[in-house]
Amino acid sequence: MTAIEASKLARRRRIRGLALTFGRFAIMLATTFLGLLAVTFFIGRVVPIDPVLAIVGDRAPAAVVERVREQMGFNLPLWQQFFIYLRQALTGDFGVSVLTTNPVFDDILRVFPATLELATVGTLIGAGLGVPLGVIAAVRRGSFADQIVRIVGLIGYSVPIFWLGLLSLLLFYARLKWVAYPGRLDVAYEYTFTPITGLYLFDAAWTRQWDILWDAFRHIILPGSLLGYFSLAYISRMTRSFMLNELGQEYIVAARAKGLSERRIVWFHALRNAAVPLVTVIALSYAGLLEGSVLTETVFSWPGIGLYITNSLQNADMNAVLGGTIVIGTVFIAINMFSDLLYRLLDPRTRMR
């Protein structure tokens, strides 16, 4: 076998490997989606709520109720309804929201940026503080600092966010007046500022409206910190345990023997190895925040997707609920994909396979 043939073969194998990976990935994606669609569909049909009633209202005459039922295809067999639903979902047509009378897709485009912005700030705070705290707790295991981090984490886990939200409003907004409330902007900007992407911090910076940027910051910082605190609790715990695992490895002993500084060992060698599983943890917590935290959004009057879906659920607006669920599912899958990609960058071994 010549060298050229060998390299050709290797390339072909690589391409086939890549195709296989993609194929496997596509199948995984398709089944995940199908599962998501099936579950949401059947939940939508099983709930003891008449969706027609939600549309025509309580006072509609019987004839109208019957006509709408016919129109919506509720008289068809269930499997047929499912295929119609599948076709609609695949073409991005989630139907019209009963509650808002807008296409569900437009509604979600409107509410999602608010949640995206809040979740991003929350995750930045959570990861930015949670990882160093976790590292410190691991390095000084059993110390006073470790105990503090543990207690902080425990509180973050166990205190209801609703209560903490109100309490922090009372302290930082009502008493100290450090932050602004309610909503995303002060009333003074409410009628002068036209958002572009819906991410107010970004929009304000982009259009160089620094006063609006500042105002948006003052509005987002408290709910963002609150969400950040909750993801911090989780991230710092996970960082600690990953780091403990790494610090017990032989390569750490080797690095110490080589005479590397403790700081370099911890923050460069150990953390880099712990970073791989940590990426998944952070990505999952980010995805969790993107689902919209209903309670935080309620307390802070934040017009995000969590409020939208809860509101729709309470009003039996199934199109909106299903559309919202699918969008969130998609985001979840996308973030998982992204963290897989990060894996490959962080861990050379995954690149070889």
Partner 1 sequence: MVGGVSPFLKQPKHECLEMKAPLRAKAFREFSAGVALAVLMTLGAPTYAATPADTLVEGFAIDDLITLDPAEAFEFSAAEFIANSYNKLVNLDLQDTSKIVGELADSWTVSDDSLTYTFKLKPGLQFASGNPITAADVAYSFERVVKLDKSPGFLITQFGITGDNVAEKAKALDPLTFQLTVDKAYAPSFVLNVLTSMTASVVDKELVLQHVKPVTPSDEFKYDNDFGNEWLKSAYAGSGPFKLIVWKANEALVLERNDNATIHQAALKRIIYRHMKESAGQRLALENGDIDIARNLEPGDVDAIAAKEGYTVTSAPKGTLYLLGLNQKNQYLAKPQVRQAIKYLIDYDAIASTLIKGIGQVHQTFLPSGQLGALEDKPFSLNVDKAKALLAEAGLPDGFAVTLDVRNTQPVSGIAESLQQTFAQAGIKLELIVGDGKQVLTKCRARQHDMCFSNWGSDYFDPNSNAETFTVNTDNSDASKNKTLAWRNSWDPGELNGVTHAALQEKDTAKRTAMYQDLERKVLDTGPYAFIYQQIEVAGYSSKVKNFRLGPSFDTNYVFPISKD
User: Is residue 74 within the footprint of partner 1 (CB under 8 A)?
Assistant: no
- Closest approach, Cβ 155 to partner 1, in A, equals 17
Among residues 299, 320, 321, 326, which is the contact residue for partner 1, using CB under 8 A?
Answer: 299
Residue 275 binds partner 1 (CB under 8 A) = no
43 binds partner 1 per the rule CB under 8 A: no
From the list 184, 219, 237, 269, which residue makes contact with partner 1 (rule: CB under 8 A)? 184
* Binding of residue 177 to partner 1 (CB under 8 A): yes
Q: Does 205 bind partner 1 (CB under 8 A)?
A: no
Which residue, 30 or 49, has its beta carbon nearer to partner 1? 49
- Which listed residue (274, 316, 321, 335) binds partner 1 by CB under 8 A? 316
> ∠310-312-318 over CA atoms, to 5°?
125
The backbone torsions φ and ψ at residue 177, rounded to the nearest 5 degrees and listed phi first, read 55, 40
Q: Which residue, chain included where needed, has tokens 């047509």?
A: 93
- The C-alpha angle 137, 154, 303, rounded to 5 degrees, equals 115
DSSP 3-state assignment of 249? coil
Pick the binder of partner 1 from 36, 104, 136, 289 (CB under 8 A): 136
- Choose between 277 and 303: whose C-beta lies nearer to partner 1: 303
| Residue 261 in contact with partner 1, rule: CB under 8 A | no
176 interacts with partner 1 by CB under 8 A: yes
Which residue of 173, 336, 342, 347 would you call a contact of partner 1, by CB under 8 A?
A: 173
CB of 273 to partner 1, least distance (A): 18
Q: How many CB atoms lie within 10 A of CB 351?
A: 10
What are the φ and ψ backbone dihedral angles of 103, each rounded to 5 degrees? Answer: -60, 135
Hey, which residues does 103 pair with through a beta bridge?
96
Q: Is 63 in the site for partner 1 (CB under 8 A)?
A: yes
Quick one: which segment of 14-22, 46-54, 246-254, 272-280 binds partner 1 (CB under 8 A)?
46-54
Backbone phi, psi, residue 76, to 5°: -75, 160
Neighbour tally for 324: CB within 10 Å = 28
Q: Which is nearer to partner 1, 286 or 308 (CB)?
A: 308
- DSSP bridge partners of 96: 103
CA atoms within a 13 Å half-sphere pointing along the CA-CB vector of 316:
14
CB burial of 178-209 (b: ≥16 within 10 Å; e: otherwise) equals ebbbeebbbeebeeebebeebbbbbbbeeeeb
Paired tokens of 327: 């969008």
Measured distance CA(96)–CA(80) in Å, rounded: 20
Does 175 participate in binding partner 1 (rule CB under 8 A)? yes
For binding to partner 1 (CB under 8 A), which residues are involved?
47-50, 53-54, 57-59, 61-63, 99-101, 110-111, 129, 132-133, 135-136, 139-140, 145, 166, 169-170, 173-184, 187-188, 190-191, 214, 218, 221, 263, 267, 298-301, 303, 307-308, 311, 314-316
